Amino acid sequence: MMVDFKEFFKATDPSKTLSVGDSELDRKYYIDFSSVRGGKIIEDLKNNITLWSPEQPTCQLLTGHIGCGKSTELLRLKAELEREGFHVVYFESSKDLEMGDVDVGDILLAIAKRVSESLDRLTLEEPKRLKSILQGAAKLLQTELEFDNFEIEALGNKVTASKEGITVDALGNQFSAGKEGITVVAMGIAKITAKVKHSPDLRSKLRGYLEPQTNGIIDAINKEILEPAIAKLKQHGKKGLVAIVDNLDRVDSSPKPWGRPQQEYLFVDRGEQLRSLHCHVVYTMPLALRFSNDFSTLIERFISEPQVLPMVPVLCRDGSENTEGMDLLRQMVLARAFPQLEPEKRLEKITTLFEDAQTLDRLCQISGGHIRYVIRILNDGIKRQTGLPIARQTLEDVIRAYRNERTLAISDEEWELLRRVTERKQLPKKQDDHILIRSMFVYEYRDAAGSWFDINPILLA
């Protein structure tokens, strides 16, 4: 069976997230790693909603290294919850927020916007309190914001662009009969947040207005959007509403103006407000917070521990090969070229893609079980080879380039810390040990005995 290396290159695009609920091909690409990741993490998230608390709102956190597969798993959670009869709103918060400067009000409005957009077919009463708050924001910013060559006067007040005679809302959005109410508010939030996203001065001005009203905003979102929406959804046979807020784990650790690190500020100081929405919510959380001195306070705020999605183990804690983890990683690679074949048949095709079976094993081992890096190194190998099968030397050239990039950033002190991690399989008890995790110098794994850690193999390549 011949493989078109250009199609294989597309299938290994590391920027693509698999959506098992929407694509038959993605379902064939998908590999379930739960058996080697210490438990059925996504099933636990689902059960907390569908089995243990279907009527009462839940707020859950998921964390793990960036690129370990959280988004793919959350899209699988979305598909499973929808099969259970829930209305699910999934979105990548980085598309709405400036991740270097985020406030709790930004997150709440992003959720309100995304939920409202998903409910455009439901007839809900106009959210007057929320609309009034946004009117104030538009008035505050009217000297800075212009749309379609006319100034904003107030959100929700219809104005007409005289040049074209088109009826629009105050933020420049065209709308027709029946498009008012909740959808217009969603469009209003979208216009305001889009304009302030790339302007620190406008963000600061807007937050000065919204911050004192945070609890009122939460109450308005609950009373005017979430609660009536859930009631309507149940009339249409749905069991409830779930919001999945992805990419919040990418929030920068940079300090706020008063010195508090942004990650601790959002998830510790403002955690109670993040969990105050009257629907089921799942947030992704920065992994470094698990190693923060405030982690116990974070647990108290959210009344539960975050779920951790660890790496896929290529080795066991004792240094021996983890055969099951390696088997699954091989299948993940082979499935991108042979999605229609059964797993046993794929193994017969290894030399169609690689010089030999050892080259595929080298790819899996050097990744340390980091899903995105398996795909990235493979993708770069295909590009460098400009054909198949990929030669061992080609793979080693790619690995060397990755290693050189990463080792440049490691200090002598950090090398000593990494040596101790390699020996003890635990993080050193040091105030800055989280930097090893955040920089992806160290990976976390799970087995029957719990968490253990090891150095990123590519640093030693």
| Alpha-carbon dihedral 244, 439, 40, 312, rounded to 10 degrees | 140
Q: What per-residue confidence (pLDDT) applies to 39? A: 87
User: Considering only CA atoms, which of 244, 253, 202, 188 is closest in space to residue 60?
Assistant: 244
**In sequence order, what are the residues at sequence separation of 6 or more whose Cβ sits closer than 8 angstroms to the Cβ of residue 318?**
none
pLDDT at 120 over 60: yes
- Over residues 33-53, mean pLDDT: 95
Q: What per-residue confidence (pLDDT) applies to 432? A: 58
pLDDT at 130 over 60: yes
- Say which range, 31-45, 130-144, 319-333, has the weakest mean pLDDT: 130-144
Q: What per-residue confidence (pLDDT) applies to 163? A: 35
pLDDT at 173 over 50: no
Q: What per-residue confidence (pLDDT) applies to 143? A: 40
Q: What Å distances lie between residue 64 and 126, 160, 382, 431, CA to CA?
A: 39, 49, 28, 20
- Over residues 218-239, mean pLDDT: 96
Q: What per-residue confidence (pLDDT) applies to 171? A: 39
- Over residues 44-65, mean pLDDT: 97
Q: What per-residue confidence (pLDDT) applies to 222? A: 98
Query: What φ, ψ does residue 454 adopt, rounded to 5°?
Result: -150, 160
Q: Tell me the sheet residues that pair with 453.
A: 444
Q: Are 451 and 444 in contact (CB under 8 A)?
A: yes
- Say which range, 62-71, 127-136, 219-228, has the weakest mean pLDDT: 127-136
DSSP assignment of 282-316 equals: EEE--GGGGGSTTHHHHHHHHTSPPEE--PPPSB-
pTM listed for this prediction:
0.90
- Over residues 267-293, mean pLDDT: 96
Q: How far apart are CA 362 and CA 378, in angstroms?
A: 11
Query: What φ, ψ does residue 170 adopt, rounded to 5°?
Result: -70, -15
Q: Tell me the sheet residues that pair with 284.
A: 62
Q: How far apart are CA 21 and CA 407, in angstroms?
A: 39
Q: How far apart are CA 285 and CA 406, in angstroms?
A: 24
**What percentage of the chain reaches a pLDDT higher than 70?**
90
Instruction: Please provide the average confidence, as pLDDT, over all residues in the chain.
Output: 89
Residue type, 365: Q
Using 50, 70 and 90 to split pLDDT, how confident is the model at 436?
Answer: confident
Q: What per-residue confidence (pLDDT) applies to 28? A: 97
Using 50, 70 and 90 to split pLDDT, how confident is the model at 159?
Answer: very low
Q: Are 61 and 304 in contact (CB under 8 A)?
A: yes
Q: 348-384 burial, b for 16+ CB within 10 Å, e for fewer?
A: eebebbbbeeebbbbbbbbbbbbbbbbbbbbbbbbee
Instruction: Please name the residue that has the structure tokens 């999945």.
Output: 244
Q: 39-59 burial, b for 16+ CB within 10 Å, e for fewer?
A: eebbeebbebbbeeeeeebbb
pLDDT at 51 over 70: yes
What is the three-class DSSP state of 386? coil
Q: What Å distances lie between residue 59 and 271, 284, 375, CA to CA?
A: 10, 11, 32
pLDDT at 169 over 60: no
Q: How far apart are CA 163 and CA 246, in angstroms?
A: 41
pLDDT at 431 over 60: no
- In tens, the pLDDT along 371-418 reads 999 999 999 999 999 999 999 999 999 999 999 999 998 999 899 999
Q: How far apart are CA 16 and CA 2, in angstroms?
A: 24
